[in-house]
Structure 1
Amino acid sequence: MQPLDDGTRPWTEPGLYSVAPGVYRIPLPMPNDGLRAVNVYALTDGESLTLVDSGWALDEAHARLASALSGIGAGLADIDRFLITHIHRDHYSLAVELRRKYGTPVALGAGERTTLDTVSEPGRMPMADQVALLRQAGGAPVVDALAALFRSVPAQDDSLWEQPDDWLEPGRTPAAGGRRSLEVVHTPGHTAGHVVFDDADAGLLFTGDHVLPHITPSIGLHAAPPPLPLRDFLASLASVRARPDRQMLPAHGPVSPSVHARVDELLDHHERRFDRIAATVADGAHTAYEVASRLTWTRRARALDELDPFNRMLAVLEVAAHLDVLVTREMLTVETGEDGVRRFDPV
């Protein structure tokens, strides 16, 4: 396999794509997921090799990664280090699997400690925190749909939630054998310990799921959820916007020329969503589920009930996160009823 010029094919098409000198994009498959692929980035000086994110621990992803690396004369055993943006399966689990075979060190943001401890608890029910939040949101129908879904889906391998070798703190970290230096930037929101990697010399920002070109990342998939994940996410966007602009190397979607341009779009999107949600509460919807049921979703403007159960969950939890921020802005009030459901009203 020979490196291809990036941007000449659909971003999900398998291959090895040259992004910048010594930087390659490798899209890997995901199982039955609307995101369709996850980008892994290989940084090399011709001798040493660092990967930003790893992919999902699937046989097909394992094979495609090996095939892609052969295009730069490397194999899986030649990976010197994994730098992981956050603790989700499509970013972390293949790194753990490859470490078991080759001993490759894995580094993860220090803010993910609590999350990793939580998801690795023996016997933990899938989406335990999300089910509790859905009940508070008045989303019992979504809980029922999720339960039916989980009964039909094979169990995931939870043994891959192992501890990393290194916990990354904000600051410099070496890549490609130390010939490249990346700045670790803490960007909580999508997860509590999400980080992005800034390559100032090359003008690149590896944004993980923090800044994506086509969608706004979910903020409802936390294990041990923080109080206000959307507030954290918006603050992280603002902190990235305050930094020098970079070419954006996202985990899902094509490489884009400007991080700043996409951050501006995301901030504007959320402000418009705040306005719409506040107006929907004023119009008589009082729970997150009721609000979500009156909004449309995806670029196709689908109703909530037209979404699959997983994306219905994400939609309701996104609304709940917006409602919580509107309370902090003193635009809404909230009370929890005897049934445990949180109900909102205009101030």
Structure 2
Amino acid sequence: MYVLETDAGPYLVDAGWDTEEGWSALTAGLRALGTRVEDVRGVLVTHSHLDHYGLAPRIREVSGAWVSLHALDAAGLAQFRADPASLSAALLRRAGAPEAEVRKALDDIGTRSGQDAAPPDRHLTDRERPDVPGWDLTTLWTPGHTPGHLCFWEPRHRLLLTGDHLLPRTTVGMHQPRDETDDPLGDYLETLEPLVRMEPDLVLPAHEYRYTDIAARVGEVRDHHAARTALAVSVLREGPVTAWQLAGRLRRSGSLEGLRGFPLRATVSRALVTLAHLRRLGAAREVPGPPPYWTATARLQRCPGVFPG
């Protein structure tokens, strides 16, 4: 979370988890700056994940502040009302996981109710200028991690607030493709070079730590995804695979052995995202199941060097 100080009161970028620990950390942090939650005038949320959006409605209730989010992510808040176990089961079955693995994953999660997140007051769009007195903020629509992820650029201070879009150490996951034309990874990769061209002096991510060399970090991220894509291409050339099988092949260990809970779901999700990217490139196609599986296209088989990553 970041605090933008203004003469009208503080504005926040992201809000943190809706937990008592999160609330205590927020109030203590604002107190250390000489202000209070009651003084907050606006909350600019980078994306809808609940470690970013969670406390925003509670902050609004206490302070009267407005809360903003991209419209695509505002629509996505409804997904958090679903039972997490059912969402995980649907993901694993979509990937072609054996039913025994699906049942094991359900046992890991157990029965839990979803969370109801109240909607934002404002929908921000690409290249919009949020009303934050004394700051020259511009929104940058950067889809990939979520459909409506936003970064915020402040040219006078050369600051780029990246949310989860570009972290200094972790390569973030992408949202699940919403239909056969959706390519979250491709959309994500297209956003990177425009951020480099802004030449920020300081990058402020939502996790880990601040950094300065955005060009170097973008190069690392591109190399990571190129290597994964190239490996997926080589696997597809060997023959049809399920996304579940590919997820294991993309790991250094070569299998999903030992993975449980969230790491397993994230690994399988990333395989599906890579396959959706190859589909958009014309290199792969999905064949309905059960289980659904993926195969190389004739174009890929005819042209060995066309899809290196």
Give me the TM-score of the superposition, normalised by structure 1.
0.78
Determine which of 203, 206, 211 is the counterpart of 1:256.
Answer: 211
Q: Which residue of 2 aligns with 1:190?
A: 145
Matched length: 296
- In the TM superposition, residue 252 of structure 1 has moved relative to its aligned partner by 0.9
Distance 2:63 2:181 in 1: 35
Distance 1:71 1:224 in 2: 46
Q: Which residue of 1 aligns with 2:97?
A: 139
- In the TM superposition, residue 221 of structure 1 has moved relative to its aligned partner by 5.7
Q: Does 1:88 align with 2:88?
A: no
Q: Does 1:53 align with 2:14?
A: yes
Distance 1:222 1:331 in 2: 17
Q: Which residue of 2 aligns with 1:148?
A: 107
Q: Does 1:98 align with 2:59?
A: yes
RMSD: 2.5
Q: Which residue of 2 aligns with 1:304?
A: 256
Show the 5 A alignment for 1:4-153: 40-45=1-6, 48-120=9-81, 124-126=82-84, 128=86, 131-140=89-98, 141-151=100-110
Deviates more, 1:78-87 or 1:246-255: 246-255
- In the TM superposition, residue 283 of structure 1 has moved relative to its aligned partner by 3.4
- Deviation string 1:47-67 (CA, Å, 9 cap, x unpaired) is 521110010011111111111
Structure holding more strand per residue: 1
8 Å contact kept, 2:9–2:41:
yes
The alpha-carbon distance between structure 1 residues 182 and 81, as it changes in their structure 2 partners (threshold 3 A), is same
Distance 1:80 1:233 in 2: 31
Q: Which residue of 2 aligns with 1:328?
A: 280
**Alignment-mate amino acid for residue 142 of structure 2:** T
- Deviation string 1:156-193 (CA, Å, 9 cap, x unpaired) is 5x23x111011111221122xx1112100001111111
8 Å contact kept, 2:200–2:212:
no
The alpha-carbon distance between structure 1 residues 250 and 204, as it changes in their structure 2 partners (threshold 3 A), is same
Q: Does 1:343 align with 2:294?
A: yes
The alpha-carbon distance between structure 1 residues 307 and 220, as it changes in their structure 2 partners (threshold 3 A), is farther
Structure holding more helix per residue: 2
Q: Which residue of 2 aligns with 1:26?
A: none
Distance 2:9 2:202 in 1: 23
Give me the TM-score of the superposition, normalised by structure 2.
0.87
Q: Gaps (5+ residues) in structure 1? A: 1-39
The alpha-carbon distance between structure 1 residues 54 and 227, as it changes in their structure 2 partners (threshold 3 A), is same
Deviates more, 1:106-115 or 1:246-255: 106-115
The alpha-carbon distance between structure 1 residues 189 and 254, as it changes in their structure 2 partners (threshold 3 A), is same
- In the TM superposition, residue 250 of structure 1 has moved relative to its aligned partner by 0.5
- Deviation string 1:115-173 (CA, Å, 9 cap, x unpaired) is 124445xxx33265553342222124543233112216x545x23x1110111112211
Distance 1:303 1:331 in 2: 23
- In the TM superposition, residue 226 of structure 1 has moved relative to its aligned partner by 7.5
The alpha-carbon distance between structure 1 residues 83 and 222, as it changes in their structure 2 partners (threshold 3 A), is farther
Determine which of 118, 121, 140 is the counterpart of 1:162.
Answer: 118
8 Å contact kept, 2:287–2:295:
yes
